[in-house]
Structure 1
Amino acid sequence: MNEAEIWKKIEHFFEVNFQTEKNPPIETILFLIGVQELGSGQQKFTKDDKVNLIHIAVCRLLEAFGYYKFSHYDNDGFPHFEELEKLPDLKPNEQQLLMKKAIIQYFQDEEIELT
């Protein structure tokens, strides 16, 4: 299965399991991965919390590529990451492609079943 096919299955996973719109925006997927990584379950999040959750997801996803390393949990239970390597300057479409690859890697590493 190629990356485009896997990506379609990942989008379908979010549509079915989280009732997201068809072809959910990458920010929605990042937010939901951040919620998963936080491990606090469904709750109301402030706008700042949502930004932090997306940041958690990005750090967690890019950990597999050697850009970040988990450091610790703070007193509120939020994970923190240490930057190991600066991200290269990427154009928006290159950022999108990197995040898609990282999300695919996350699903493979976490052995999340895609149907």
Structure 2
Amino acid sequence: MYLCKVYIIDEIEGNYMARDIQLKERWDYLVEKLSGKFSDGDPLELDAIIYLIGVQELGQYHKKYKKDDKLDLMHIAICRLLEPYGFYEFSFFDEDGWPHYNVMEELPALKAGEQTVLMKEAIVTYFVEKEFIQ
């Protein structure tokens, strides 16, 4: 009985490990590719990538943004990234073209590392869907 449980746990943990390895490989490739387009050589950090997604979702690429706008762009990105997980749902575009989302489910309390993994996973999924990476 216990051997069966250990085997199942090992198989599940093996799947998690394989998924984590694939996520890391995709993340590293994505950071390299985005950094080549939008950075002066330094790798882009998570916040910068979230900001870029916000600009992409807003679609106003050549506008200069104020500090408050940049925070709003990051909020747009987070809503869009977590929409497939059921946390947010797109509601409407306002008269300035900014998307608005409804909270569908409160985010669970996550440790910092867990938040980072969730966001990296959501970002990788976003760019796979956009066919920017495979």
Q: How does the TM-score come out when normalised to structure 2?
A: 0.80
Q: Following superposition of structure 1 onto structure 2, how do residues 8-87 of structure 1 map, counting pairs within 5 Å?
A: 8-19=28-39, 21-87=41-107
Aligned CA RMSD, in angstroms, stands at 1.5
Structure number having the greater helix percentage: 2
Return the index of the structure with the highest Cα Rg.
2
Aligned residues: 114
Q: Percentage identity across aligned positions?
A: 44
Aligned residue type for 1:90: L
Structure 1: gaps (5+ residues): none
Indicate if the aligned counterparts of 1:70 and 1:81 stay in contact, CA closer than 8 A.
yes
SS of the residue 2:89 aligns to: strand
1:59-81 deviations in Å (ceiling 9; x for gaps): 00001111111100011110001
Aligned residue type for 1:17: K
Q: How does the TM-score come out when normalised to structure 1?
A: 0.92
Structure 2: gaps (5+ residues): 1-20
User: CA 1:35 to 1:79, structure 2 compared with 1: closer, same or farther past 3 Å?
Assistant: same
**Distance in structure 2 (CA, Å) of the matches to 1:26 and 1:18:** 13
- Give the drift of 1:110: 1.6
Indicate if the aligned counterparts of 1:14 and 1:20 stay in contact, CA closer than 8 A.
no
